[in-house]
Chain A
Amino acid sequence: MEEQQKYARLFNDIDSQALITLGVVLLSTVVLIIVSQRGLSWLGNRLHGQVRFRIFALVPLTRLLILITALAIIVPIIIEPSLRNMVTLLGALGLAIGFAMKDYVSSLIAGVVSAIELPYRPGDWVNIEGTYGEVKHVGLRTVDIQTPDDDLVAVPHLKLWDHAIYNANNGGTSLQCVASFYLHPEHEAGWVRKALRDVALTSAYLKFDKPIIVVAEEKPWGTHYRIRAYPVDPRQQFLFITDLTVRGKTVLNAAGVQSAMLPPDAALDARNAADASY
């Protein structure tokens, strides 16, 4: 009997007015979250440059603020917010979570951390455990990544705890692209370097306030050249790499510079190296 009274003191009396208030708060929260998330995403998708990323960064932050506000309103309606009551409730919740829903709640907490630390935000190009693509949505539990093949991959936020997050543009408009050229060893390296730099300088996609670097690396089968440069917009990265590659090949072919003929094992190594350079 005494135990029953103790739990009764933990929770407030829920009368019809409290129920209506709870309903209104919950409904408003859901509506606000949907409107803010869709509205900000809609707006961000139609903007360009740095403003786009600032709008996108607001998406998870806005949701977090709405949720915290809703909790701050709801909790005092349901329970008497004394220290003892909170400890009791959180202890019970902790036990339940620890046994049954550990990963789910871990992802939720990581979602809160991601909204504050911003390791990724919509519009960023990230690589998480080999999944490379553009962050389309940062949800409560997962982050949705759209790959270049148009797959939408939902990655749980809990990867934050123990996996490296590679962010190619980190909330900005600068994303380095790499175009590779594998050339036969018999060529004038200085001329090739200048020609490849000109290829980058004459690209319509080039962002001029970032450096252009041509890297040459000698291999047993020839020389591996990489143009490292930045497109005006991160979304142009594949078009930019294609433009550099196509025009680079044209210039090199016109000058009689031959591509390297790679033995099968070297070709495999080169492909792995190219994948790793993304």
Chain B
Amino acid sequence: MGEQPSSADTPLWAVVELEQFTTPEQTQASQWRRSLRSASTWLMGKNSAEQQVKEENELRALPEVKLAHLVPPIDWAPAAKALAQQLNDQKAPVAFFITPPHSGHVAVVSQWAEAHRFACLPSPTLSELAEGDTQWIERCASQREWAVPALERYFLRHTQGIQGVREFLERALSGRLGQGVIGCDSWAYAYLQEVIGIDGAPVFTLQSMEGEQLSRYFADIATHTGAPPQVYSTRTGNQVLAKTEGSAANKKAPPKGENKELQRLAAHCRGHIGIAWHYWRERLREPLSDDEKALWLADALAEAELPPDTGDVATLVLHALLIHGGLDDHSLGQLLPFSHHEALNARLALQRKGIVTSCEGRWQIAPLSYASVRQLLESRNYLVDPL
């Protein structure tokens, strides 16, 4: 999967086949830069940030109310529509829609299913997975048109925990369960592809966004209350967002080269809008003095990074969390080849560093750490996702 040429006319939401997914421009350069910064931090201690036009101590985080207006939650409806267009021509009994963590496959597939009156299948319970019980598949068999928003909830990485999903996918792929759409985390998909083999089924994903598209998107979501705000980069002092003129449809993208900061962000996030949205929300700042109205984007990439000498235990915890799309402490202890308290200690250490966060009772990789975690696992030959 190479890098795609940028285009100001590219739609924001495009669902493509997995083979057509391309990472944004400068993704490779972004990885090298991250490795270099990580190595220099490791060799020389906490490095000083890059030269800043605006010092961060002159800025403060935005209040929640203001953030809710400027950076509202992502509306996945356009992605669900784009998915529907792709699925219109599909004849295969099952189609997959995969995205990386925090990138919306659950919402997209749920919204698609609701719009097309497909039943969302309930996921098996943890005890059913732990015991290798396959009775839950029979419950699914009653539906002829169904959707699974999160396949990563259908297995656990142990000998009992993969039996159910294996049988379910065998039946589904052969058409015995009728017509279905499966949403799946890209890491879980990579794992199941190796363990079960799901070749032949069409696989779709969201196309990556370039810096220019991110600029348009962030300007769009901030215009619900009027004109988009002026946002400047603390690193370069340049304006970050696209200048909008009139309605969203008439917005003109700035010439190529004016989106350097957001292109940098897009490359860092591998073009995944969900991850980029978290960066945008977390790194927006306003001046301490109330006289200035302009907003600032703090150095978007100076976030929790994993040191290159991260131990094996932490690495295995991170990989298990990614493959399962997040786990609770009990399941984490069951799936790792060391004792529960070792797993708990490793998880606590990662939590203290801000690498993992809790979401609905499950520990997940924090969105702002995802890029460095992925790069670390890839450098150590662990199985990584295809996106």
Contacts and interface: CB of A to CB of B under 8 A. Distances in A.
Q: Are A and B interaction partners?
A: yes
Interface of A: 46-49, 51, 173, 195, 198-199, 201-205, 207-209, 232-233, 236, 239, 242-243, 247, 251
B381 A207 contact: yes
Given A49-B379, A49-B380, A202 B308 contact: no
Contact of A202 (B157, B316, B381): B157
B159 to A, nearest CB: 5
B320 A204 contact: yes
B381 A232 contact: yes
Interface in B187-240: 194-195
A177 to B, nearest CB: 14
B316 A208 contact: no
A173 B319 CA distance: 18
B337 A239 contact: yes
B194 A204 contact: no
A48 B379 contact: yes
Contact of B337 (A204, A208, A232, A233): A204
B159 A247 contact: yes
Nearest to A45: B309
A201 B162 CA distance: 10
Contact of B159 (A46, A198, A232): A198
Contacts of A199: 159
Interface of B: 42, 157-159, 161-162, 194-195, 308-309, 312, 316, 319-320, 335-337, 379-383
Contacts of B162: 198, 201-202
B189 to A, nearest CB: 13
A48 B159 contact: no
Contacts of B380: 48-49, 232-233
Contacts of A205: 316, 337
A233 B381 contact: yes
A48 B382 CA distance: 11
Contacts of B312: 233, 236
Contact of A243 (B161, B195, B337): B337
Contact of A204 (B42, B309, B316): B316
Given A46-B309, A198-B159, A204 B379 contact: no
A251 B159 contact: yes
Contacts of B161: 202
A194 B72 CA distance: 49
Given A48-B380, A208-B383, A232-B382, A195 B337 contact: no
Nearest to A47: B308
A77 to B, nearest CB: 38
Nearest to A205: B337
Given A48-B380, A49-B379, A247-B158, 16 more contacts: A46-B308, A46-B309, A49-B380, A51-B379, A199-B159, A202-B157, A202-B159, A202-B162, A204-B320, A204-B335, A205-B337, A208-B194, A232-B382, A233-B312, A242-B337, A243-B337
Which 8 pairs, one residue from A and one from B, show the smallest C-beta to C-beta distance? Answer: A243-B337, A208-B383, A48-B380, A198-B159, A208-B194, A201-B195, A204-B316, A202-B157
Nearest to A243: B337
B228 to A, nearest CB: 43
B294 to A, nearest CB: 43
Contacts of B383: 208
Given A195-B159, A201-B194, A204-B157, A49 B381 contact: yes
A203 B323 CA distance: 13
Nearest to B155: A202
A247 B159 CA distance: 9
A90 to B, nearest CB: 45
A237 to B, nearest CB: 12
Nearest to A250: B159
Contacts of B42: 46
Contacts of B320: 204
B196 to A, nearest CB: 9
Contacts of B308: 46-48
11 contacts: A46-B42, A46-B308, A47-B308, A48-B308, A51-B379, A202-B157, A202-B195, A204-B320, A204-B335, A233-B312, A247-B159
A115 to B, nearest CB: 27
A231 to B, nearest CB: 9
Contact of B336 (A201, A204, A232): A204
